[in-house]
Amino acid sequence: MPERYPPDDPREWLKRAESNLTLAKASQRRVYREDLCFHAQQAAEMAIKALLISRNVKFPYVHDLAGLLTLLEKTGEEIPESIKQAEGLTRFAVFTRYPGIAEPVGRREYAEALHLADEVVRWARRHLKRKSR
């Protein structure tokens, strides 16, 4: 069991991001890729929120990654294009979670979702380590 931190500690949010990323990578035969992509989206969302907390920025409890990245950018943080691409994960927070709203997620789309989420989590981890020095 991972160490727990208070909810206002960015490390707790990063731990949640890492937990969701682990779940997103847990591809099994009986698990829908849509559900795995939801966890990829959650990983990116929690990582971005960890950075916002580290900068004392209040944020809405939403799944909109573009909006959250915009809040982060307003703190003076330069958001690389590779991280901005994670905005596309937002659709996995709602549309793909319910039957019949969106097409099933294919292997390539799932692999891309994992890649994007992993990029965001690693980027956030580096920034949090740098800030704690």
Please, what is the Cα angle at 120 between 44 and 93, to 5 degrees?
20
Domains defined along the chain, listed by start: 10-132 (1.20.120.330)
User: Phi-psi region for residue 76, left (φ > 0), alpha (ψ -120 to 50) or beta?
Assistant: left
Predicted local confidence at residue 132, as pLDDT: 64
pLDDT in tens, 109-124: 999 999 999 999 999 9
Q: What is the pLDDT along the chain (133 residues), one digit of tens a residue?
A: 778 999 999 999 999 999 999 999 998 989 999 999 999 999 999 999 999 999 999 999 999 999 999 999 999 999 999 999 999 999 999 888 778 788 999 999 999 999 999 999 999 999 998 866 5
How far apart (Å, rounded) are the C-alpha atoms in residues 55 and 72? Answer: 8
Question: So what's the pLDDT on residue 133?
Answer: 54
pTM, whole model, 2 decimals? 0.94
